[in-house]
Structure 1
Amino acid sequence: MSQTPDPSAFSDDAADRPKSAPVDREDAGPFDEAEANAVRPYVDLGGVKIVPRADLGLRLEVEEESQRIVAVALDYAGSTLQVQPFAAPRTSGLWHEIREQIVEQIQRQGGAAQSVEGPLGPEVRAEIPSPEGGRLARFVGVDGPRWFLRGVISGQAAADPEAAAQVEELFRSIVVVRGTTPMPPRDLIPLHVPANAGTV
């Protein structure tokens, strides 16, 4: 999914935008590290923690030039969920502006995209040009406390309601670990290889 827009490339001229998140985010996720179940097992990837489950495949996407991990891809329910955690302002949100930029960028690439209201709040549903033809994708995002979690959903969950519900639940089970290190908004929160990768 290397052609998907990068939130870190967007301007910071809308610092007063409200946060965008499900009304029950603190109870149903995605969670901040301070909200996570302390006794639940997680696969620790640095900026995010993932609940291990049957039939879940985990891949780390690495930037070729820098060799840094830039995204986590989760294969589940005949679908792929790519997630990236970013630093964000304490009081304002990023998703409203980023969503508009995603729509504009996909349309410039010759694809079709529109912002709609989904189960996780506002999202972008798109058909992205590819060598095999149009590829359906859903861009979802949640503004948390000092972080923003973006997800890109492709495969069956981009269109099939049953698969979509399973992947949405997977997205909401993710824990974001912002840490205390000062970071500019839109900087990717560092990710790393999990010590217990074989247990996923």
Structure 2
Amino acid sequence: MFTSHQVLDEPGRPALYNQWFDFVFPGLDGRTIWNAEIITARKDFWDKVEAIAWDRATALMSEEDREEEFRMDVVPIFVGRHKIYRSVQRKKQRYPAFGDLTFREYEEQLKAQIIANEPPAVHERFKSDRTYRYGIGVKLVVDAEEIDQAAVEAAIERFRVAGEGDWTAPTPVPRERVPAETENAALAALKDNSLAT
């Protein structure tokens, strides 16, 4: 039903790491190639929370602070005759507007507050994008624990039944199906659990 250069259903890989997948599949007309990205509702929720937190945090910064915070410093290094660049780690700046936290610390704090107090609604959906160079792009958001072969095949079937067009579920994914913690907190807990075993 589909093909991809990415590995799917990797043995032993925790479900939390299987929240998205890129693949291509043929359209029902036999001519269209759908260039797809599929993500879970959980990942879509985290992405929305991050976008809200980013906008709120950067709104508190001056233009100079934003330029300094997001500037990438690189140094050239040579590998044989080839010149490549390595990024330079800079000391993290603390901002009075953030209560003397770094940008990342404040952003993480905001994300936790957004999840607790004003979680954004997440809907299953299909959204096409005709700007892709190869095929027609489509983003598929599905309410699944992880993206595995069964989730991909079910999404393709639903997309086809919906007429291979844009669609949004009329009701949001139930609140108990989206996370109560930030993505970073969930990943840190998973890492801590794997180190403990």
Normalised to the residue count of structure 1, the TM-score between the two structures is 0.24
Q: Please state which structure has a larger fraction of its residues in helix.
A: 2
Task: Report 1 or 2 for greater relative contact order, CA contacts < 8 Å, sequence distance ≥ 6.
Answer: 1
Q: Please state which structure has a larger fraction of its residues in strand.
A: 1
Q: Which has the larger radius of gyration?
A: 2
